[in-house]
Each structure stands twice: as C-alpha cells, then as structure tokens.
Amino acid sequence: MRDPRMSALAALLVNTSCRVQKGEKVLIEAVDTPEAFTVELIAAARRAGALPFVSLRQNRVLKHLYQQCTEMQMQEYGEIELYRMKKMDAYIGVRGSLNFAELSDVLQDRLKLINRLYFKPVHLDQRVRHTKWVVLRWPSPSMAQQANMSTDAFEDFFYSVCILDYSRMSRDMEPLVARLERTDRVELKGPSTDLTFSIKGIPVKKCDGQHNIPDGEVFTAPVKESVNGTIQFNAPTLFHGFSFNRVFLRFLNGKVVEASASTREETERLNSILDSEEGARYLGEFALGLNPRITKPIRDALFDEKIAGSVHLALGQAYEDADNGNRSEIHWDMVRILAKEYGGGELLLDGTLIQRDGLFVTPELQDLNPERLLQRCAEKPRQEC
C-alpha cells in the first residue's frame, strides 16, 4: 500500500526543491533507499515533464570498491561521474544508511583520493555550482538507533521535519538575512566557547527547502582570517562514518591551531583530517539552525545543522554563493546548540545580543523562535503537496 507521505515528499523534492521543468534531465541517486521511494521520484519527475535518470548505490558495496581503490581508478571513476553530472539539469540525492559506520574502516589515504578525485570535482565543483539540486537522508533502523528512537517513531519524526511550508519559512527568514547583511562582528559565547569573527562583505543566504531536506537555516561565511578564540561543539559529528564527540577548536587569525575531541583516537583522526591540506584548518561557513521540529542531535549533519537554536561552522570549502575564498577537499559541519538544556550560550552581532539560550531576543527576529515559527510552517494539506 502506498504511503501518501512518500508521494508528498517526492513532489516537494521535484517541484519545490529542484523546480524541475519540462524537458530537463534529472539524476536520481539513491543510496540504500527503498525502491518504492525511487519509483515515487521517477513518477513525480515525469509528471513535471522531465527525463529521470537513476543511479542505485549501496554503501556496503561502495566500501569494498573504496578499500582497494587506486589513484588511476578513482581518476577514471571521477571523470565518468563528472561527464554524467555535466549532462544533468537537476540532481536529487537520497542517502540511506543501513549502518552509519559502514565506511569507517576505509583507510584515510583512500578517503583522501575519493574526496580529491571524485567528490570535489563531481559534487562540490559541478553539481553544487551548475545544477538545481537537493539531498536528503532516508530513515532507517540505523538512523533510528542513532537518535535513540524506535523505527516507527523515527519515521514519523522524519516526515514531520521534512514536509513543512518552506515558502512561509522563507518569508520569516528575511529579517534575519537583512540583519546579518548589516553585520561585521559576530561573537559566540558559552561553556568552553568564546569565538569572534567578521562576516562583513560575505553574502548571506537562506536555506528554505531548495537544497537540503529537511531544511531551515541561514548561512554566510566568516572572513577567512578573522576567526579568533575557542569553541566546543556539543553535538556529535560524523565524518566518513566515524563519530567525533565534543570537538574543541582554537583559532588564531582564521586557522585552527589546536583541535581535540573526547578520546585520543578521535583527536588523532581529527588532526589527521585537518592536516590533509591547508583549507581544512580554515572555516568555509557560519550558519544558524531554524527548523522548529528539530530540537536534538541525531548524529546526522543534514538534520543536526538545522536544530532550532543552534549555530554551526564548517571546516573547509566555502560555498560559491557565500564565498570567503577558502578552498578545500572537505566541507565538515560542526554544531553548537545554544539552548539552555545543552549548556546555553549567547550570539551577539556587532555587540548586540541577538540570541540567548537558543531563543531570539530582538523583536524583529522573535517570529523565528520555534513555537511561533511552527504555527505558520506546519505541513500543508496533503492535496497541496
């Protein structure tokens, strides 16, 4: 029996996120996801008059491909995938996970090859810059376990945070965008956190259902060499299937000069990644999370970076539309939740307190607080999706 929520979500991805038009070519890349949803995406693309193309992948298979890959092989692999991506007008990436740590035993030197020869040219340089695209995770027992929820409860949570009225959310984001566009100095304060940087002259963008589902953030980037101070992230973060907890970073003139995590192994892995190339020790993004239905981390960046009352910083590559000039083979989001139950914190813009303990305190921004935002952005009726 068809789940109407699948149909609604597929329509959202095709029509709202990618704005697919008649005759356009759409690549649907499904990793460890059910056939039923891929079929729904094909049907939604065809209803829009588009030409769907499908790539089915499994992380367990990819792991065996990556474990023994050579530089020449990944060079060819990247060139083939880049050729196909250049043919596409839109990209929908649905990424499931039967085991979130599936790639954790792939050696770092192989992962660096994959980043340099496949992910960066195909996704960061071509897909992000030259297609209409959206990516999302698919709910699985593994994700439910990460979130400490039952499979059924997590599935309900998934649909509730994904299917929102993003057009309403987009309008409510405008005052925050305007405030950030006028801002020079940003200050973050909280336990083990006292960080300052400038965002002057860097474009500010809202994420309102166009590229990530679930969505709900406003982002820009720090001026590359302006970052100074310390921050401790209080949401776990995954990178290539390995979990890092309580990541602590110290910055001097934009560069990470000290990095640690909760265990020795995590700290060693963290610094190995940061030492992989120069751009990995600089920031490429600063953002505020706003999704009113996401309130706690589940160790998945696409969800955690949208937590209402959170901020996140990304090590590595800057986005082209909010570019601070940093170049890297990685883009690694790390989340600091400012809500009181996570230790609290303050966000100041040019010396003015904007957010305390995860809630906006200035009148023009209070409609972005979760209770108010949820009243206006609850999912549309089924027939409208």
Tens-digit pLDDT profile for residues 38-54: 999 999 999 999 999 99
Residue where a domain terminates, one of 162, 194, 226: 162
Tens-digit pLDDT profile for residues 35-92: 999 999 999 999 999 999 999 999 889 898 899 889 999 999 999 999 999 999 999 9
Query: Band of the pLDDT at 385, cuts 50, 70, 90?
Result: very low
Least-confidence region, from 92-101, 111-120, 126-135, 182-191: 92-101
Q: Are residues 188 and 226 in the same domain?
A: yes
Task: Give the sheet arrangement for strand 90-95, strand by strand.
Answer: 51-57, 25-31, 90-95, 132-137
For residues 37 and 30, the answer to whether their CB atoms sit within 8 Å is yes
Distance between start and end Cα atoms, the chain: 19
* pLDDT for 383 beyond 60: no
For the segment 143-171, the average pLDDT, to the nearest whole number, is: 91
Residue where a domain terminates, one of 162, 180, 210: 162
CB atoms within 10 A of CB 377: 23
Q: Are residues 185 and 296 in the same domain?
A: yes
* pLDDT for 180 beyond 90: yes
Q: Are residues 44 and 103 in the same domain?
A: yes
Residue where a domain terminates, one of 138, 162, 186: 162
* pLDDT for 136 beyond 60: yes
* pLDDT for 380 beyond 70: no
Average pLDDT over the chain, rounded to an integer: 93
Q: Are residues 231 and 331 in the same domain?
A: yes
Residue 1: predicted pLDDT: 65
Tell me the C-alpha distance between 124 and 118, whole Å.
10
**How does DSSP classify residue 11?**
H
For residues 127 and 91, the answer to whether their CB atoms sit within 8 Å is yes
Residue 204: predicted pLDDT: 98
Q: Are residues 213 and 300 in the same domain?
A: yes
Q: What is the CA radius of gyration of the chain?
A: 20
Q: Are residues 232 and 84 in the same domain?
A: no
Domain that holds residue 270: 166-384
10: CB partners within 8 A, 6+ apart: 37, 40, 41, 43, 44
Q: Are residues 183 and 266 in the same domain?
A: yes
Share of the chain above pLDDT 70, in %: 97
Chain length of the chain: 385
Tens-digit pLDDT profile for residues 218-274: 999 999 999 999 999 999 998 887 899 999 999 999 999 999 999 999 999 999 999
- Its sign, for the CA torsion 79, 87, 220, 363, is negative
Global pTM value: 0.81
Query: Band of the pLDDT at 384, cuts 50, 70, 90?
Result: very low
Phi, psi of 281, deg, nearest 5: -95, 10
CA-to-CA separations, 246 to 198, 229, 231, in angstroms, rounded = 24, 16, 10
Tell me the C-alpha distance between 268 and 255, whole Å.
18
Partners of 248 in the β-ladder? 232, 260
For the segment 338-346, the average pLDDT, to the nearest whole number, is: 96
Tell me the C-alpha distance between 250 and 375, whole Å.
39
Residue 382: predicted pLDDT: 38
Q: Are residues 179 and 264 in the same domain?
A: yes
How many folded domains does the chain comprise? 2
Q: Are residues 176 and 250 in the same domain?
A: yes
Q: Are residues 238 and 302 in the same domain?
A: yes
Q: What is the CATH number of the domain that holds 69?
A: 3.40.1830.10
Residue 148: predicted pLDDT: 87
Tens-digit pLDDT profile for residues 345-356: 999 999 999 999
Q: Are residues 141 and 174 in the same domain?
A: no
Tell me the C-alpha distance between 120 and 123, whole Å.
6
- For residue 292, is the peptide bond before it cis, meaning its omega torsion is within 30 degrees of 0? no
CA-to-CA separations, 55 to 4, 31, 38, 373, in angstroms, rounded = 24, 8, 10, 36
The DSSP bridge pattern shows strands 185-190 and 205-207 to be unpaired
Q: Are residues 193 and 125 in the same domain?
A: no
